């Protein structure tokens, strides 16, 4: 059996944890730059606040109903996510826990002798809530996909299900599949939803009746076969070990306001390079390829959703490196090539790839010995910035005023990671 533990309205739950006055009240959390709604409580949903829609479109509902709004606070969410996952590792063992996302993880129960999975699911839910303060839902089934189905149904009626659902019999699985719309099946996107409806497949049960040959032809080959096997209760998506070393590292941000000058874009890119290089050093690696992109603001607003053109380029470095200054210099050269005078820009980003362990990078015999020890300087900078926060040490290329920084007009304090922002109890 496989379990999935999913935090309920995770970002909102993190905010409400330190604001008990918001219990049972509508809350929403906004994306970077306060652009879109990325998390909402059940109370906000009941008021008609849509998910993933622009904030300005729902602003009249939010203001009329006094919905509390927060800017995204990823320091807080990341720390509380770690606490939830660590709790589950303690309960089930690290080798049995696969972190799927910031608010979800799969748990391998196949080697656990348990006759009453309902009781175990309930105890897991209560323990996580008691130890971390974050409310979760638990779904248990023979496969990952069926566990996702169970979890989604558990969330639909939290009072009746107590946020848990176990699909441990054929009858329960069949009933759950009939209640699950095809659009809600894990791995089925919008295009496949429309395609399957043309085949008169409207729920997960309809799809589970299809043959392997049909899935191979109409569901994308191997991936479709795996999906169908999972629906039929046959394990086809194995548990994965935690990925400790990233193969690609990216840092991207929206600008607080659209900008037109090259200087601001170069400052932003230099800042993003510094962040990406710090992440690279944190996993003791170096990168040999770097991509830079900037996104222009589209001037035609006739369409409801629009995205400006992306200008991008990349460079292969002479040797793999994690040194910030060695990455900033070629990044700024790329920005100069991409920048077009007279255009308005709204976003920029940096992507580091071809990542290798830094122990595999040789020193250079043809440069002064001191230059081969710059990695020590980077370690000192990282330690100071980690202890003091807010990039107290930075390269001049990253600027000082940073007027281009993204908006976070409703951000809460970093309650769990900053001494000066600890929650005060009166």
CATH number of the structural domain spanning residue 357: 3.30.1490.100
Please, which residues bridge with residue 138 across strands? 5, 164
Residues 354, 387, single domain; the answer is: yes
Residues 129, 253, single domain; the answer is: no
DSSP string, 6-19: EETTHHHHHHHHT-
Dihedral sign computed on CA atoms, order 254, 257, 260, 266: negative
Residues 106, 68, single domain; the answer is: yes
Task: Flag whether 169 is in a domain.
Answer: no
Residue 166: how many CA atoms within 13 Å on its side-chain side? 14
Task: Flag whether 388 is in a domain.
Answer: yes
Task: Flag whether 307 is in a domain.
Answer: yes
Distance, CA of 221 to CA of 402 (rounded, Å): 49
Residues 10, 111, single domain; the answer is: yes
Task: Flag whether 424 is in a domain.
Answer: no
Write phi, then psi, for 168 (nearest 5 degrees).
Answer: -115, 5
Residue 405: how many CA atoms within 13 Å on its side-chain side? 10
Task: Flag whether 423 is in a domain.
Answer: no
What is the widest separation between alpha-carbon atoms in the chain? 73
* CATH number of the domain where residue 237 is located: 1.10.150.20
Give the DSSP H/E element, type plus range, for residue 30: strand 27-30
Task: Flag whether 311 is in a domain.
Answer: yes
Write phi, then psi, for 253 (nearest 5 degrees).
Answer: -150, 150
Which residue, 242, 274, 295, sits at the end of a domain?
242
Residues 4, 102, single domain; the answer is: yes
Residues 54, 131, single domain; the answer is: yes
Tokens, residue 206: 């309809």
Which residue, 242, 273, 290, sits at the end of a domain?
242
Task: Flag whether 409 is in a domain.
Answer: no
Which residue, 191, 213, 242, sits at the end of a domain?
242
Residues 265, 392, single domain; the answer is: yes
Residues 122, 184, single domain; the answer is: no
Domain extent for 6: 1-162
Distance, CA of 418 to CA of 26 (rounded, Å): 27
Q: Which of 165, 352, 343 lies closest to 260 in space, CA to CA? A: 343
Task: Flag whether 39 is in a domain.
Answer: yes
Residues 392, 283, single domain; the answer is: yes
Tokens, residue 323: 């040194």
CA 37 from centre of chain? 14
Domain count across the chain: 3
Residues 267, 370, single domain; the answer is: yes
Q: Which of 369, 335, 367 lies closest to 350 in space, CA to CA? A: 335
* CATH number of the domain where residue 20 is located: 3.30.70.270
In order along its 426 residues, the chain shows pLDDT tens digits of: 899 999 999 999 999 999 989 999 999 999 888 889 999 999 999 999 988 888 889 999 999 999 999 999 988 999 999 999 999 999 998 888 999 999 999 999 887 777 788 899 999 999 999 999 999 999 999 999 999 999 999 998 888 899 999 998 899 999 999 999 999 998 888 888 999 899 898 999 998 898 888 888 888 888 888 898 988 888 877 777 666 678 899 998 888 888 888 999 999 999 999 999 999 988 888 899 999 999 888 765 554 445 567 888 999 998 888 888 889 999 999 999 999 888 889 889 999 999 988 877 766 666 666 566 677 788 888 888 787 666 778 888 888 777 777 778 888 888 887 777 888 877
Residues 4, 137, single domain; the answer is: yes
Q: Give pLDDT, residue 383.
A: 85
Residues 263, 383, single domain; the answer is: yes
């Amino acid at each position: 059996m496989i379990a999935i533990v999913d935090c309920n309205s995770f970002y909102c739950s993190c905010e409400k944890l330190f604001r008990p006055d918001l219990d049972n009240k509508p809350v929403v959390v906004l994306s970077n730059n306060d652009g879109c709604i990325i998390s909402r409580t059940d109370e906000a949903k009941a008021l008609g606040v849509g998910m993933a829609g622009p904030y300005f479109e729902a602003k009249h509902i939010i203001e009329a109903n006094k919905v509390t709004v927060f800017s995204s606070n990823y320091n807080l969410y990341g720390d509380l996510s770690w606490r939830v996952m660590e709790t589950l590792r303690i309960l089930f063992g690290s080798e049995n826990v696969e972190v799927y996302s910031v608010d979800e993880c799969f748990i391998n129960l196949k080697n656990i002798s348990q006759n009453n999975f309902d009781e175990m699911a309930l105890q897991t839910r209560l323990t996580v809530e008691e130890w971390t303060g974050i409310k979760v839902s638990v779904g248990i089934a023979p496969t990952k996909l069926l566990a996702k189905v169970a979890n989604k149904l558990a969330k639909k009626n939290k009072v009746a299900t107590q946020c848990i659902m176990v699909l441990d019999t054929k009858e329960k699985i069949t009933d759950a599949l009939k209640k699950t719309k095809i659009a809600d099946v894990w791995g089925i996107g919008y295009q496949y939803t429309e395609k399957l409806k043309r085949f008169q497949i409207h729920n997960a049960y309809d799809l589970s009746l299809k043959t392997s040959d049909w899935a191979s032809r109409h569901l994308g080959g191997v991936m479709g076969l795996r999906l169908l096997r999972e629906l039929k209760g046959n394990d086809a998506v194995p548990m994965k070990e935690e990925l400790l070393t990233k193969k690609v590292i990216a840092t991207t941000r929206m600008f607080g306001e659209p900008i037109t000058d090259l200087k601001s874009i170069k400052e932003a890119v230099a800042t993003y390079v510094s962040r990406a290089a710090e992440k690279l050093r944190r996993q003791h690696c170096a990168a040999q390829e770097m991509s830079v992109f900037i996104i222009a603001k589209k001037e035609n607003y006739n369409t409801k959703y629009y995205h400006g053109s992306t200008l991008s380029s990349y460079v292969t470095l002479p040797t793999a490196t994690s040194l910030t200054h060695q990455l900033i210099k070629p990044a700024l050269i790329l920005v100069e090539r991409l920048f077009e005078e007279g255009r308005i820009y709204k976003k920029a980003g940096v992507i580091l790839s071809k990542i290798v362990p830094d122990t595999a990078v040789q020193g250079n015999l043809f440069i002064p010995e001191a230059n081969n020890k710059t990695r020590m300087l980077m370690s000192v900078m990282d330690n100071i910035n980690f202890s003091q926060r807010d990039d107290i040490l930075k390269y001049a290329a990253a600027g000082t005023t940073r007027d281009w920084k993204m908006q976070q007009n409703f951000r809460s304090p970093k309650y769990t990671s900053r001494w000066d922002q600890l929650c005060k109890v009166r």
